[in-house]
Amino acid sequence: MSYNFKETMSKPERLAPGHRMCAGCGGTIAVRNVLRGLHEGDKAVIGNATGCLEVSTFTYPYTAWEDSYIHNAFENAGATLSGVEGAYKALKRKGKLDETYKFITFGGDGGTYDIGFQSLSGAMERNADMVYVCYDNGAYMNTGIQRSSATPMYADTTTTPVGSASNGKPQNRKDLAAIIAAHDVPYVAQTTFIGNFKDLHVKSEKAIYTPGAAFLNIMAPCPRGWRYNTPDIMEICKLGVETCYWPLFEVVEGKWILNYEPKKKLPIEDFLKPQGRFKHLFKKGNEYLIEEFQKEVDRRWEELQFRCSRG
Amino acid sequence: MAKRDRLSGNEAIAIALRQINPDVFPAFPITPSTEIPQYFASFVANGQVDTEFIPVESEHSSMSAAIGASAAGARSLTATSSCGLAYMWEELYIAASNRLPLALALVNRALSGPININCDHSDSMGARDAGWIQVYAENNQEAYDNMVQAYRIAEHKDVRLPIMICQDGFITSHAVENMELLEDEEVKNFVGEYEPENYLLNPGCPMAVGPYSITDYYMEAKRNQAEGMKHVEKIVLEVAEEFAKLSGREYGLFEAYRLEDAEYAVVMIGSAAGTTKDAIDKLREQGEKVGLLKIRLYRPFPAETIAQALKGVKAVAVMDRAEGYTNHGGPLGADVMAALYRARSQALAVNYIYGLGGRDVRVEDMEGIFATLKQIAADGDAGETYRYLGIRE
Amino acid sequence: MAADITKLGVKATWKDLTEGMIIAGAGTSKEFNTGEWSTDKPVFIEEKCKQCLLCTPVCPDSCIPVKDGKRGEFDYDHCKGCGICVKSCPFGAITMEGV
């Protein structure tokens, strides 16, 4: 698949303006750009777990979706779209439908890593012909920034508040992309917003057009929850990648591929510093917390490099 | 041409489903409904149906996928029992509020805990206010016939609501009975094609389903939904009339058994009605004016016609195969008593909790109930209205 | 047939609402003005623009239309003034101004 940025950006917009997501939201940046992976003329049904994206993009009677859209509940986006995809197969088999449809579902990390995990795992294991896209902002943002299993260690959230006896979330985040890869699905990728979005656009197209189940994990910063300066989202994402906190990789038919290796891996402070949720790590005496964080980033980076070296 | 066969209730439902040939069937096993998807999977494996069978990882997902499929424009269903239904609870409301005419083959079983695999109605009674149509069967034949009629009711343009076809776990689901099946072609023609107006896979017009609704809309949305339910009784009767022409078997909102001149009546749901009929036949031979009102359509609740049918009775026992924990009795008791009150009935009414967790109900038990009703009428006092049948004190 | 959402305002009666609260049709949110949320708005300085389009994927509100490989004027009916596009422009062709 050859990639042309101008052509990609010239495609018709599939997420209409007028939705109620916050100014500067990373979630809709992810959605808009994933949908650019669809070929013009192909139709799609979009699924969505309950969350910011759902309540803001389909507030009766205003839908921001240019394609058919279904929201069912919080924990079942995988199963719901499986049902839609099953209907597609059945209607095709019965000769009731000619058009080509693609199936893409979006969930935040709460609806994906946590409450929707079983339904997602089921859909992936059954190899349903769909893409599950997690826009990962590392907490339950819709209900007001509660920790999820995607929340990084030491983040200050409303259920892991920093206090005299707490340094924020005590646990590391779950490595969901690896878990989904262990389902042996044909395509898994991790990406975020970098440069002209080529990485995200190409991975989206691959995910959508790979027959069978595909999973995209997209780091999509939330200015409210992360407490950075809203216009700086691209810088935050870049630091996530350059510090190897959020590496860009793919798992294609079980083969791990590292898509980007920083020339000089930046220290994790560079990613943590602009974010208010990590402010307490920069207090005098808390240097060891940053060291711990760095160790975990290094450990995971080495593990990923090892997986990718084996192919 | 009808075919005679000996079938269990589960097999009868599975055969009805084969004849209907639905588009999508997501399923998860749970005793005693497991056989339904099991039989159906063999139909799929042998190429006897075009259905997309999705063996999901939970009941929550089976209902979720059935909802997705129905919204997409497919005829869908699932089957479950007990905790499986409880696990779907949230989804039941969503299916109904989205006005999706999907079906659920429910095999009634007690809810945990303690865990128990046998029949009572605590599962479907817990779902009675979810916005689903609920139809109950006494025996295997009725379960089959109700399944054949299900989509005609649910998909009717004035209704468009999900439908639960209920039968009693093990008692009918596993017991084999003689019954009559319709020809495949007859069922196919009777049920017809599903032609939704708006659906996700409509190439002519996309659709969005499942909105966030602010307070300004929510109450109007619920009232709009209730309107569909208001049409159900009429459509159930119309479909039953057409079904009778095809099968020779007649159905109504309920069955009135020797109720015409009855002074003492029992109101109940499900398989124990057969036992009650035996008790009635025996007592009628002794000259007792006893009868039965067996509920077929429980949601919506045909309160006025039920009260009308019970007009002449002196005393009535409403039998609940589920606890309500109201300290006053079960859900059917509450519904029937409210219906009698609205009709200004003078009947004395008591409410029995019976048959929980598969507790057997014998002909003698029901004879005892009628004897109690006779005593209540003679005393002119119902006494304690919240009673248990056959409990060890 | 697509729903006419002009009949689905907050004063609509229960009979007016769409069955199952579904909306047949697409992109009806365009009728909802989120432009009035902003306290700042981006200004497009066309003469400085090299049409690199780097500002177009970063907009969370689909407010930078692209046609035939070229960006057009901002959609001020919907732009919430987040300022991400300003930072994404390598040529200083977008600035922020108070509303």
Q: Which amino acid is at B260?
A: E
Shortest CA gap B71–chain A (Å): 7
CATH of the domain at C38: 3.30.70.20
Residue B74 is nearest to which of A69, A73, A91, comparing CB atoms? A91
What's the number of domains chain C is made of? Answer: 2
Q: Is there a contact between B209 and A90 if contact means CB atoms under 8 Å apart?
A: no
CA angle A297, A299, A303 (to 5 degrees): 115
Task: For residue B40, give the nearest of B1, B11, B76, B61 by alpha carbon.
Answer: B11
Q: Is the distance from CB of A106 to CB of A70 less than 8 angstroms? A: no
pLDDT of residue C98: 87
Query: What confidence tens digit (pLDDT) does each residue in B299-337 have?
Result: 999 999 999 999 999 999 999 999 999 999 999 999 999
Q: Are residues C38 and C21 in the same domain?
A: no
The band of B26, judged by pLDDT with boundaries at 50, 70 and 90, is very high
Residues of B in contact with A99 (CB under 8 A): 201, 203
Task: For residue A37, give the nearest of A200, A191, A216 by alpha carbon.
Answer: A200
Mean residue pLDDT of chain B comes to: 98
Task: Select from A34, A63, A141, A238 the residue whose CB has the most chain C CBs within 10 Å, as the one to mutate to test that interface.
Answer: A63
Task: For residue A30, give the nearest of A249, A181, A216 by alpha carbon.
Answer: A216
Angle between helices B140-154 and B184-191 (to 10 degrees): 30
CA angle B235, B241, B245 (to 5 degrees): 145
Domains and CATH numbers, chain B: 3-246 (3.40.50.970), 254-388 (3.40.50.920)
Boundaries of domain holding C78: 33-99
The band of B2, judged by pLDDT with boundaries at 50, 70 and 90, is confident
Q: Are residues C23 and C54 in the same domain?
A: no
Query: What confidence tens digit (pLDDT) does each residue in A79-100 have?
Result: 999 999 999 999 999 999 999 9
Q: Is there a contact between A122 and B200 if contact means CB atoms under 8 Å apart?
A: no
The residues, any chain, with a CB within 8 Å of residue B214's CB and separated by 6 or more, are A59, A60, C10
Q: Are residues C47 and C94 in the same domain?
A: yes
pLDDT of residue B351: 98
Q: Which residue has the tokens 């596009």?
A: C85
Dig out the tokens for A183 from the structure: 């389902």
Residue B207 is nearest to which of C13, C14, C24, comparing CB atoms? C24
Helix, strand or coil for residue C11? Answer: coil
Query: Residues for chain A: how many in total?
Result: 311
Q: Which residue of A has its CA nearest to C61?
A: A17
Task: For residue A89, give the nearest of B196, B188, B72, B203 by alpha carbon.
Answer: B72
Q: Are residues C24 and C61 in the same domain?
A: no
Q: Which amino acid is at A49?
A: A
Q: Which amino acid is at A19?
A: H
The residues, any chain, with a CB within 8 Å of residue A216's CB and separated by 6 or more, are A34, A131, A132, A133, A134, A188, A189, A190, A191, A203, A204, A207
The residues, any chain, with a CB within 8 Å of residue B345's CB and separated by 6 or more, are B307, B310, B311
pLDDT of residue C62: 98
Instruction: Please give the average per-residue pLDDT across B333-342, as a whole number.
Output: 98
The span from the first CA to the last CA of chain B, in angstroms, equals 53
Q: Are residues C62 and C25 in the same domain?
A: no
Shortest CA gap C75–chain A (Å): 9
Q: Is there a contact between C58 and A233 if contact means CB atoms under 8 Å apart?
A: yes
What is each CA distance from A286 to A154, A226, A270, in whole angstroms?
11, 19, 16
Q: Is there a contact between B198 and C22 if contact means CB atoms under 8 Å apart?
A: yes
Q: How remote is the C-alpha of B349 from its chain's centroid?
A: 23
Mean pLDDT by 10 residues, chain C (99 residues): 93 98 98 95 97 98 96 98 97 93
What's the number of domains chain A is made of? Answer: 1
Query: What confidence tens digit (pLDDT) does each residue in A237-280 have?
Result: 999 999 999 999 999 999 999 999 999 999 999 999 999 999 99
Helix (H) or strand (E) holding A252: strand A249-252
Q: How large is the ipTM?
A: 0.97
Distance CA B200, CA B223 (A): 24
Q: Are residues C22 and C60 in the same domain?
A: no
Task: Select from B209, B224, B230, B231 the residue whose CB has the most chain C CBs within 10 Å, as the one to mutate to test that interface.
Answer: B224
Q: Is A191 on the interface with C (CB under 8 A)?
A: no
Distance CA A29, CA B272 (A): 60
Which positions 309-368 of B are in contact with A (Cβ < 8 Å)? none
Q: Are residues C20 and C48 in the same domain?
A: no
pLDDT of residue B317: 98
Distance CA C67, CA C50 (A): 15
Q: Which residue has the tokens 């919080």?
A: A74
pLDDT of residue B1: 58
Q: Is B211 on the interface with A (CB under 8 A)?
A: yes
Q: Which residue of C has its CA nearest to A29?
A: C60
Q: Are residues C24 and C40 in the same domain?
A: no
Q: Are residues C45 and C27 in the same domain?
A: no
Which positions 17-76 of C are in contact with B (Cβ < 8 Å)? 17, 19-26
pLDDT of residue A1: 56
Distance CA A269, CA A239 (A): 10
Helix, strand or coil for residue A58? Answer: strand
Task: For residue A193, give the nearest of A164, A227, A219 by alpha carbon.
Answer: A219
Instruction: Please give the average per-residue pLDDT across B85-96, as a whole number.
Output: 98
Shortest CA gap C82–chain A (Å): 5
CB atoms inside a 10 Å sphere around CB C39: 10
Boundaries of domain holding A112: 5-310
Mean residue pLDDT of chain A comes to: 97
The band of A2, judged by pLDDT with boundaries at 50, 70 and 90, is confident
CATH of the domain at A182: 3.40.50.970
Dig out the tokens for C58 from the structure: 């970063």
Query: What confidence tens digit (pLDDT) does each residue in A213-228 have?
Result: 999 999 999 999 999 9
Q: Is there a contact between A65 and B60 if contact means CB atoms under 8 Å apart?
A: no
Helix, strand or coil for residue B124? Answer: helix
